């Protein structure tokens, strides 16, 4: 492994797997843990983990890591439950390497957010929204689908369409938004871009709900993963486009810097043309004239092409006015880090809307906010790989319509945005709003959990998992009854202020590492947009959260 660069999450997992393959004796592991515990006793580690979850990675590093010796950093890594292979434990590697390993281990802990047991119902949602004044909203493609804009990962989404049509020569549908692929062949993207360019789309009730939070001075910031600029069309001011948008376009040539409004390349996009940078074109024309003059002055033949034209054409994607969308492999704007550091000091509620939180690093925002901040999910599909306090599953527009009726709020009309469209949007206040039937409906609670089902919910797998868990629990109850052991009600249960410990200090070296945010330098400085990590999530964390709710309800009874 190259120790001259940061250790990301995949590399940390590889190191842990290598350590496991070394078949270290239990006695040696015990000795390592005991030695680490002399510097960092388990009680102290628990306190540090609690502080990490509340203050965040940057403050934690400032408070506990800056100025540490190499041996103490190694000890802290072990105390937090990360075992490195012997060559990493014993070799005299640079201190900076161990610090990056520590950052990645800490980021993994942040990702393991625990559910807050006090919040479980739709009534709790209404209460939280009513009394919160610094709400962060993290929005995804699911709030724009009702506007006619497809999402990316659903069965009818953009990637599925690209796979089905097969008219683009793509090994992976996600290559359409890959920076390296774009530089090799920008024509592929621009033959497709018209289908996702924000034309006369009308903001959905979900967008306008976010605007309403802003009008009521409750919105701290809207972090959006969407590139459709419908936030601006809804009139939202406090918005951060985490993955960029079509609002602007910039030249791809390093050092050029030409930037224009998205409306300037609209005609090229709808004509399936590759928009070129006029500044770069002028410079290239000047270079050709200079080369021609140089050849003529030397008496060379114009047919002897010894210039570097081939090098100029090595990357057709240079000199192109690319929409300011963050492609896979591109660095996110520094604004994301700066805003997150600022907002985590004020946020009192996080609402996740229209996203399943599968694309890093934006998906890791949940873990990097204080873990005492309540989290509400509004989405068609459940999030099962990290703890949400309340999950409202279904059509986002129907859900916000229901919430507005409960809150006594009226959605505002959308505001037209001319920067991208180049003209007035045909927005109407009534379009896209849920009707009375949707607003008057009552959501269905999934078993005895924190999950509520609205029309449009796609949670069959989760429903089946709950059913299986209940059946197994019933069998266990019968077995305990037959053996005359204590019933569940007779066993001690946690209080409302206690939550099941998922502290890594209590689960050392058990199982492979989970996929986590790559932390480079600061909170996420240098982090690039990653592709989705499909297929690794299970329903186990959600079932564990359901058990927390059930224990609390038994206490209340």
Same domain, 7 and 126: no
Q: Which of 5, 64, 207, 243 is labelled catalytic?
A: 243
Which residue, of 298, 325, 352, is where some domain finishes?
A: 325
Coil, strand, or helix at residue 224? strand
Which residue, of 55, 90, 111, is where some domain finishes?
A: 111
Same domain, 473 and 393: yes
CATH of the domain at 176: 3.30.1600.10
In a domain, 498, yes or no: no
Closest to 230 in 3D by CA, of 140, 294, 153: 140
Same domain, 381 and 309: no
pTM: 0.75
Q: How far apart are CA 270 and CA 277, in angstroms?
A: 17
Please report the beta strands in 61-164, taking only residues with DSSP state E, as ranges in sequence order.
135-139
In a domain, 494, yes or no: no
Same domain, 104 and 141: no
In a domain, 507, yes or no: no
Same domain, 302 and 178: yes
In a domain, 503, yes or no: no
**Chain position carrying tokens 């592709």:** 531
Render 472-526 in DSSP notation, one character per residue: HHHHHHHHHHHTT---GGGS----TT------GGGSTT-SPPPP-----SSSSTT
In a domain, 508, yes or no: no
Q: How far apart are CA 373 and CA 114, in angstroms?
A: 11
In a domain, 238, yes or no: yes
Consult the annotation and say whether 339 binds a ligand: no
In a domain, 493, yes or no: no
Closest to 24 in 3D by CA, of 95, 94, 87: 87
Q: Report pLDDT for 401.
A: 95
Same domain, 37 and 122: no
Q: Is 243 a catalytic residue?
A: yes
pLDDT more than 70, % of the chain? 74
The per-residue pLDDT for range 253-270, each reduced to its tens digit, is 998 989 999 989 999 999
CATH of the domain at 529: 3.40.50.1220
Same domain, 283 and 361: no
Same domain, 271 and 371: no
Which residue, of 280, 299, 325, is where some domain finishes?
A: 325
Consult the annotation and say whether 404 binds a ligand: no
Q: Report pLDDT for 530.
A: 59
With beta carbons less than 8 A apart as the criterion, state whether 280 and 320 touch. Answer: no
In a domain, 545, yes or no: yes
Please report which helix (H) or strand (E) contains residue 222, including its range.
strand 219-224
Region of poorest pLDDT, from 19-23, 77-81, 94-98, 141-145: 19-23
- Exposed / middle / buried, residue 460 (Cβ in 10 Å: 0-12, 13-18, 19+): exposed
Taking the CB of residue 218, how many other CB atoms lie within 10 A of it?
A: 18
Consult the annotation and say whether 256 binds a ligand: yes
Consult the annotation and say whether 280 binds a ligand: yes
Confidence of residue 196 (pLDDT cuts 50, 70, 90): confident
Q: How far apart are CA 288 and CA 54, in angstroms?
A: 59
Taking the CB of residue 333, how many other CB atoms lie within 10 A of it?
A: 16
Same domain, 106 and 60: yes
Same domain, 291 and 207: no
Same domain, 1 and 99: yes
**Which structural domain, as residue segments, surrounds residue 70?**
1-111
Please report the beta strands in 228-317, taking only residues with DSSP state E, as ranges in sequence order.
239-241, 244-251, 259-261
The count of structural domains within the chain is 3
Q: How far apart are CA 323 and CA 262, in angstroms?
A: 7
Average pLDDT over residues 498-522: 33
Same domain, 180 and 289: yes
């Amino acid at each position: 492994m190259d120790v001259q660069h940061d250790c990301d999450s995949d590399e940390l997992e590889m190191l842990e797997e290598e350590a496991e393959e070394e078949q270290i004796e239990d006695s040696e592991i015990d000795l390592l843990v005991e030695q680490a515990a002399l510097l960092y006793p388990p009680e102290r580690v628990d306190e540090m983990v609690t502080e990490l979850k509340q203050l965040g990675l940057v403050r934690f590093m400032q408070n506990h890591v800056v100025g540490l010796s190499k041996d103490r950093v190694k000890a802290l890594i072990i105390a937090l439950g990360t075992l490195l292979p012997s060559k990493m434990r014993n070799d005299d590697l640079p201190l900076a390497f161990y610090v990056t390993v520590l950052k990645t281990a800490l980021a993994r802990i942040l990702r393991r957010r625990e559910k807050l047991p006090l919040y479980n119902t739709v009534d709790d949602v209404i209460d939280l929204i009513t009394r919160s004044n610094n709400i962060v909203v993290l929005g995804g493609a699911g709030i724009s689908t009702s506007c006619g804009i497809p999402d990316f990962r659903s069965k009818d989404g953009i990637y599925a369409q690209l796979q089905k049509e097969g008219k683009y020569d793509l090994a992976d549908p996600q290559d359409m938004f890959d920076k390296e692929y774009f530089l090799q062949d920008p024509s592929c993207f621009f033959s497709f871009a018209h289908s996702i360019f924000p034309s006369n789309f009308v903001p959905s009730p979900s967008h306008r709900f976010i605007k309403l939070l802003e009008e009521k001075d409750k919105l701290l910031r809207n972090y959006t993963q969407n590139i459709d600029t419908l936030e601006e069309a809804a009139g939202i001011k406090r918005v951060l486009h985490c993955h960029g948008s079509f609002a602007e376009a910039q030249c791809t040539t390093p050092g050029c810097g030409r930037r224009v409004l998205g409306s300037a390349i609209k005609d090229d996009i709808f004509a399936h043309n590759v928009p070129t940078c006029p500044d770069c074109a002028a410079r290239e024309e000047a270079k050709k004239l200079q080369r021609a003059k140089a050849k003529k002055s030397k008496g060379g033949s114009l047919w002897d092409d010894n210039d570097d034209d081939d090098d100029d054409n090595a990357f057709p994607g240079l000199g192109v006015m690319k929409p300011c969308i963050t492609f896979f492999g591109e660095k996110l704007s520094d604004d994301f880090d700066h805003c997150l550091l600022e907002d985590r000091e004020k946020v009192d509620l996080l609402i996740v809307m229209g996203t399943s939180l599968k694309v890093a690093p934006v998906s890791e925002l949940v873990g990097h906010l204080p873990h005492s901040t309540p989290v509400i999910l509004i989405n068609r599909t459940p999030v099962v790989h990290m703890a949400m306090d309340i999950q409202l599953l279904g059509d986002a527009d129907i859900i916000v319509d229901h919430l507005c009726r409960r809150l006594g709020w009226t959605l505002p009309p959308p505001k037209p945005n001319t920067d991208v469209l180049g003209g007035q949007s045909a927005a109407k206040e009534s379009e896209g709003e849920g009707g009375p039937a949707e607003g008057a409906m009552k959501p269905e609670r999934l078993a005895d959990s924190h999950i509520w089902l609205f029309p449009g919910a796609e949670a069959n797998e989760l429903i089946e998992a709950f059913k299986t868990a209940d059946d197994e629990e019933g069998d266990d109850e019968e077995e305990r009854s037959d053996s005359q052991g204590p019933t569940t009600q007779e066993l001690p249960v946690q209080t409302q202020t206690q939550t099941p410990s998922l502290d890594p200090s209590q689960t050392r070296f058990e199982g492979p590492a989970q996929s986590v945010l790559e932390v480079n330098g600061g909170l996420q400085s240098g982090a690039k947009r990653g592709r989705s990590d499909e297929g690794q999530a299970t329903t186990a964390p959600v079932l564990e959260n359901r058990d927390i709710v059930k224990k609390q309800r038994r206490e209340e009874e």
